[in-house]
Structure 1
């Protein structure tokens, strides 16, 4: 196998792996935040137009908003109970997950 062919296959493999990682969250993320995906989608694109898309949203904004929902500073009948059991670490993780997704149309 030539060096160029070998390098091309390596790059293709890395790109495929990165794409798959973005397309499917880890089992740990799915177990922890599967309830988020029910409305906001695994890919951060909401399942209904009434729910916000979270793909590519600013991490700090998501952290602040989720903490406000959790702490009752931003009352919401849906998000309040969803955010209530989340620790600061959980909020940081889910915010980073959605912030890292490239926004765009489904």
Structure 2
């Protein structure tokens, strides 16, 4: 039993570190910058919510697998902003990205 748990733990660690490395390499390739950890994303088929739990405002957008382009929006501290979800066709939401709104100079 103990060897099974140890093996499962090692496997989960390997998978989770691989996912983190894949996310880091995706950001480098696609050129989008992730916001700090205090900006959270929650997705479902209809809506994607971005919550800013930071003390600073950030301009954010959502990145989709199929390249759907959604406007950059300002997320002030405490804001919850809605974006389109992944839809009934299963368009994957890859994450939230920092961007520049038209009002920024």
- TM-score bin, normalised by smaller chain: 0.3 to 0.5
Indicate the structure with greater strand content.
Answer: 2
Indicate the structure with greater helix content.
Answer: 1
TM-score, normalised to structure 1, is 0.36
